[in-house]
């Protein structure tokens, strides 16, 4: 398939950012377009490289089979005191705790997220809150995290309590410096400061009807929400339903997400079904990482490549 490419892709890891910075990939697209699926596929195929995924909005942590994510929820408290326990007891306790958190995550209660916490007043009227508007995100903190990761510093990604729409002030996910940083979210291309930190921008382009069908399935089956309770506020999850899809999600897609597609270097039709596109992207990242390694070994060697070719 034709993969539309833009000239902004011509910069390389070595020539634009200096030899030692990680390769930053942005993955955008509408809700339920398959962004997470595409990221998971890229990460799986890059298994011999250090890759981290940083999500701007919601990430269904249970889909990522990484125990460390659940453990790090408590890292602030537990790991700090780890030395006080004998190893066996600490491991057993961590396991139990992580199981509890996995259960909570399965119903979608806690996720990595740069969503702002709602004020008490906003939380009371959550059905009027637009989670698809750029203002719903803490872009300054998102930017700060990316800048640190690019400088190979580790960061603490906030954990969001989706039940109460609050930041879990005590819990963070520790993200360490890596060769590849993938930034995923519906609005990762919206802010130019964030966009300009990316070496490669991917837009997952999936038909709106398909996305809506997937979202209904995901929100009811995977996120425990009730599709029938359109205006009812009894459940904490009822604010996301067909009514609010039409009121907030679709207009925000038209106003903010779709216009940012023009910044993409690569557009992937059909998301995770498009194995050819994903293979080509992985191949490109491998090439860049090869150059990265070369630059690490020979810091005075700069690899110059003026065109991006798939």
Which residues lie near ligand C5P (CB under 6 A)? 31-32, 35, 57-58, 115, 131-132, 162, 186, 240, 249
Q: How many residues does the chain have?
A: 310
Tell me if 146 contacts ligand ADP by CB under 6 A.
no
The window from 30-38, 167-175, 254-262, 291-299 that contacts ligand ADP (CB under 6 A) reads 30-38
Tokens of 241: 């339903």
CA gap 239, 230 in Å, rounded: 8
Note the Cα 290 to chain centre separation in Å. Answer: 24
Helices (H), 107-241: 120-124, 139-150, 192-195, 208-217
Q: Measured from the CB of residue 129, what is the shortest distance to ligand C5P in angstroms?
A: 8
Tell me if 261 contacts ligand ADP by CB under 6 A.
no
Q: Measured from the CB of residue 28, what is the shortest distance to ligand ADP in angstroms?
A: 9
β-pair partners for 185: none
- Beta carbon nearer to ligand ADP, 19 or 30: 30
Within a 13 Å sphere around the CA of 308, how many CA atoms are in the beta-carbon half? 23
Tell me if 107 contacts ligand ADP by CB under 6 A.
no
Residue 272 interacts with which of ligand C5P, ligand ADP, none, CB < 5 to 8 Å by class: ligand ADP
The three-class DSSP label of residue 33 is coil
- Phi, then psi, of 10 in degrees rounded to 5: -70, -20
Query: Which of the residues 209 through 248 are near ligand ADP (CB under 6 A)?
Result: 214, 218, 222
Note the Cα 269 to chain centre separation in Å. Answer: 19
Q: Measured from the CB of residue 108, what is the shortest distance to ligand ADP in angstroms?
A: 12
Q: Which of 9, 12, 37, 98 contacts ligand ADP by CB under 6 A?
A: 37
- Beta carbon nearer to ligand C5P, 57 or 271: 57
Nearest CA among 55, 94, 58 for reference residue 74: 94
- Beta carbon nearer to ligand ADP, 38 or 289: 38
CA gap 41, 55 in Å, rounded: 15
DSSP annotation of 247: I
DSSP annotation of 162: T
Residue 240 interacts with which of ligand C5P, ligand ADP, none, CB < 5 to 8 Å by class: ligand C5P
Tokens of 34: 């398959």
Residue 26 interacts with which of ligand C5P, ligand ADP, none, CB < 5 to 8 Å by class: none
Tell me if 260 contacts ligand ADP by CB under 6 A.
no
- Beta carbon nearer to ligand ADP, 59 or 308: 59
Q: Give the footprint of ligand ADP on this chain (CB under 6 A).
A: 29, 31-37, 214, 218, 222, 271-273
């Amino acid at each position: 398939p034709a993969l539309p490419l833009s000239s902004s892709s011509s910069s390389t890891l070595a020539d634009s950012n200096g030899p030692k910075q990680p390769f930053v990939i942005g993955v955008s697209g509408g809700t339920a377009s398959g962004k997470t699926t595409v990221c998971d596929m890229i990460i799986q195929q890059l298994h011999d490289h250090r890759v981290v995924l940083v999500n701007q909005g919601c990430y269904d942590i249970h889909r990522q089979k990484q125990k460390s994510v659940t453990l790090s929820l408590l890292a602030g408290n537990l790991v700090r005191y780890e030395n006080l326990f004998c190893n066996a007891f600490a491991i057993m306790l961590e396991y139990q705790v992580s199981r509890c958190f996995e259960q909570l995550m399965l119903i979608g209660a806690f996720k990595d997220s740069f969503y702002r916490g709602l004020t008490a007043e906003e939380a009371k009227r959550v059905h009027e809150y637009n989670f698809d508007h750029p203002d719903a995100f803490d872009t300054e903190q998102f930017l700060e995290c990316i800048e640190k990761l690019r400088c190979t510093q580790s960061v603490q990604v906030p954990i969001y309590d989706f039940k109460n729409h609050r930041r879990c002030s005590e819990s963070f996910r520790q993200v360490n410096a890596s060769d590849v940083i993938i930034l995923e979210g519906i609005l990762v291309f919206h802010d130019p400061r964030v966009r300009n930190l990316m070496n490669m921008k991917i837009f997952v382009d999936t038909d709106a009807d398909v996305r809506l069908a997937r979202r209904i399935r995901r929100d009811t089956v995977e996120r425990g929400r009730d599709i029938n309770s359109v205006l009812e506020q009894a459940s904490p999850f009822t604010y996301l339903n067909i009514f609010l899809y039409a009121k907030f999600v679709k207009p925000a897609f038209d106003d903010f997400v779709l216009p940012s597609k023009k910044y993409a270097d690569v557009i992937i039709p059909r998301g995770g079904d498009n194995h050819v596109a994903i293979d080509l992207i992985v191949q490109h990242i491998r090439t860049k990482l090869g150059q990265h390694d070369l630059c690490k070994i020979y810091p005075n060697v700069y690899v110059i490549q003026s065109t991006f070719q798939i």
